[in-house]
A and B are shown apart, each in its own frame.
Chain A
């Protein structure tokens, strides 16, 4: 014979359990609704379209080995890194065009990222009179091996700082694999990229290259990509309209 108080206690506990289960179910539903409300991706403000600006692109020409400045109008973001990527994308789009003077397949998608870092001081990198393209120095340059450790320069930082910048251009492996092989053609690509960065971001004084986020010995078997390129003593080029 079960005592009466035990029957009441059991009934009370059972009802309490059911009530708690119902409350839990209800709270779960509310939490789900709240979560869905937080992930609402409907646009709340119109996307800001960067205004079109004049960008000076240093375009290579295989026929005479020259690099000439061309002025193009394209939307340029305010963020320096995105701006650098935009101008390089336009430059590589010109090279991927059928009538390109320096044909290189790939186009704008060949530039994965452009990181802008405070430029390290390089000993012995003094420009020399009469040197046609770039001075070279391999000393005292420590490049982050992974993009995680890179601290990009934000627009606010850019406004505050006025020091020279090192641009790290991360290219795709496909771009390097399909790039025409040859000392002259590879150097024209590298120099035009460096010159274009210098023209549109005057604070960029040094450029380094990565391919798929890793350091690579050469672009397509010839041009040395392990070095730091100095943009300070680039040849003066003639400015022409496209």
Chain B
């Protein structure tokens, strides 16, 4: 009797174990089906929604106020130093561009010495869409725009530091053309040329050196000197308008 009772208990236990294993497999199957159904519904939702618009690339302008610190630059009218004039123009232009939603990076914000290579480094790290190197001189008339005199070259993966601008010269000349048009629209005398200025030849962005000189008439009498605030404002406004135009052209496919 005891043997029969023990055999019965063993059989019951075996049946319970089989049932629990079957239940486990069934539960796992249900879980898998649920996960697959969830993924399918999410995929349908994603496919049904319209694609979000791609974020527009930021438009960065580098303003390089030439000279600074020990490097005073030229001496302008009324004893003003070129380094102070370029810094003031940089600040004025920066505020105009910032008001128009353009991100501005400056190579210096104070009377500090910044080496030419450092200026180029700042411009290259900013991945700028335009770089204006601001200069001033007492000789000449109106505004002079200079692109690099390097011969245009194809872009390379590792450009030489001293001639990095060669791959951007064509774009720099185009930027100079846009600046020229804006300054002419503002009624200024503009001279386009090409030159070799330290820092600019190492920049990997469209770069133009802007040299502002007094405004003279045909008889070489001064209409507006460099210390004329209205003249400074007109030049800055024309440059800002040109950079807005450049942004529009830059974003066109």
Count of residues in A whose CB is under 8 Å from the partner chain: 32
B152 to chain A, nearest CB (A): 7
> Given A220-B74, A221-B67, A221-B71 in contact, is the A182-B151 Cβ separation under 8 Å?
no
Indicate whether A183 reaches chain B with its CB closer than 8 angstroms. Answer: yes
> Given A134-B149, A136-B149, A221-B74 in contact, is the A184-B191 Cβ separation under 8 Å?
yes
Chain A residues numbered 138-197 whose CB sits less than 8 Å from any CB in chain B: 138-139, 180-185, 187
> Given A136-B196, A224-B196 in contact, is the A181-B137 Cβ separation under 8 Å?
yes
Nearest B residue (CB) for A103 = B139
A52 to chain B, nearest CB (A): 33
Chain B binder among A15-23, A41-49, A124-132:
A124-132
Q: In the assembly, what is the distance between CA of A94 and CA of B116, in Å?
A: 33
Indicate whether A63 reaches chain B with its CB closer than 8 angstroms. Answer: yes
Dominant SS at the A interface?
Answer: loop
A181 touches B75 (CB 8 A): yes
A65 touches B140 (CB 8 A): yes
Indicate whether A222 reaches chain B with its CB closer than 8 angstroms. Answer: yes
Nearest B residue (CB) for A185 = B139
A190 to chain B, nearest CB (A): 9
- B191 / chain A contacts, CB cutoff of 8 Å: 65, 184
Q: In the assembly, what is the distance between CA of A128 and CA of B193, in Å?
A: 15
The contact string, 1 if C-beta is below 8 Å from chain B, for chain A 197-238, is 000000000000000000001101111101100000000000
Q: In the assembly, what is the distance between CA of A139 and CA of B195, in Å?
A: 18
B96 to chain A, nearest CB (A): 23
Q: In the assembly, what is the distance between CA of A137 and CA of B73, in Å?
A: 26
Q: In the assembly, what is the distance between CA of A187 and CA of B144, in Å?
A: 12
A183 touches B209 (CB 8 A): yes
Q: In the assembly, what is the distance between CA of A184 and CA of B148, in Å?
A: 13
Q: What are 18 contact pairs spanning A and B, CB under 8 A?
A: A62-B139, A65-B140, A65-B144, A133-B149, A135-B149, A136-B149, A136-B196, A180-B139, A181-B82, A182-B139, A183-B209, A184-B191, A184-B193, A185-B139, A220-B74, A221-B82, A223-B196, A227-B196
Contacts beyond the supplied A128-B151, A137-B163, A184-B191: 14 A-B pairs with Cβ under 8 Å: A65-B144, A132-B193, A133-B149, A181-B73, A181-B75, A183-B195, A183-B197, A184-B139, A184-B140, A184-B211, A185-B139, A218-B198, A222-B135, A222-B195
